[in-house]
Amino acid sequence: MSDAVVIEDLHKSFGPLEVLTGIDLTVTSGEVVCVIGPSGSGKSTLLRCVNLLESPTRGRIHTLGVEITDPDCELDALRRRIGMVFQQFNLFGHLTVLDNLTIAQRRVLRRTRAEAERIARENLDRVGLGDKAGAYPAHLSGGQQQRVAIARSLSMGPELMLFDEPTSALDPELVGDVLTVMRDLATEGMTMLVVTHEMAFARDVADRVVFMDGGVIVEQGAPAAVLGDPTEERTRTFLRRVLDPTHLSDAELD
């Protein structure tokens, strides 16, 4: 299988603050990779570099076979092949759900209104919101808005999906519907790079889990290994705090 993402010696600094320090990571086509780690570890910055929403300070990134860090890269053409779902839904409040899904299809991909609406309705059905085409975002729950955002990305026909903590802004009871859609995408073979704090999702759906801390990849491997029997103490400490937030180590009690 081909590689969807190849990251080599990636560094990213914001002024004097180095957020990413020598990242090397490969994502194979059809693979689901979940990136976990504490806040400030560089996870979201890494994801945003993959489609050049953040420009690396140093290093090379090949996305879908194209060197996106090449100054001559046709960035707009490449981004049409990549879907990205953010923490916030970024829907147009003055447009209906259907119009939110068709506007980029028509303006960027030059599809006819009829074709764009057909594809939009298929993807709304795919995320369980076929009856919401005429609704406005303000009339939807947060979980429904996030599923609309996923359907909007899918309507562009992406080969790679990037998810930046897509459930972090949702109330707990709304998380499950969004994760179900993502599970279905994984089952269908979509290549996915997911920054998440949902450990159960990472354990059950990911082909590989990457743990980041301090701007570096501390360890990576199969979910059962990284989440069940990590080799690095930094990983073990993080998982203890996430899975048992009331636990305090002896050192923390001193």
pLDDT tens string 116-133? 999 999 999 999 999 999
172 pLDDT tier (thresholds 50, 70, 90): confident
* Coil, strand or helix at 4: strand
Note the pTM of the prediction, 2 decimals: 0.92
At a CB cut-off of 8 Å and minimum separation 6, what does 228 contact? 203
* Coil, strand or helix at 100: helix
Ramachandran angles phi, psi of 142, nearest 5°:
-60, -40
Relative to beta strand 58-63, strand 66-67 is: antiparallel
Q: What is the pLDDT of residue 128?
A: 94
Q: What is the pLDDT of residue 245?
A: 65
Mean local confidence (pLDDT), 198-224: 96
What does DSSP assign to residue 182?
H
247 pLDDT tier (thresholds 50, 70, 90): low
Q: What is the pLDDT of residue 252?
A: 45
Q: What percent of the chain has pLDDT over 90?
A: 89
The one-letter amino acid code at 222 reads A
- Beta-bridge partner residues of 33: 193, 208
Enumerate long-range contacts of 136-142, CB under 8 Å, 24 or more apart: 136/93, 136/94, 136/95, 136/96, 136/97, 137/89, 137/91, 137/92, 137/93, 137/97, 137/100, 138/93, 140/97, 141/174, 142/89, 142/169, 142/170, 142/171, 142/174
- Is residue 58 pLDDT above 90, yes or no? yes
At a CB cut-off of 8 Å and minimum separation 6, what does 27 contact? 3, 4, 5, 6, 33, 191, 193
Q: What is the pLDDT of residue 171?
A: 87
Ramachandran angles phi, psi of 163, nearest 5°:
-120, 120
Q: C-alpha angle with apex 140: 116 to 142, nearest 5 degrees? A: 105
Find out whether 98 and 46 touch, Cβ atoms under 8 Å.
Answer: no
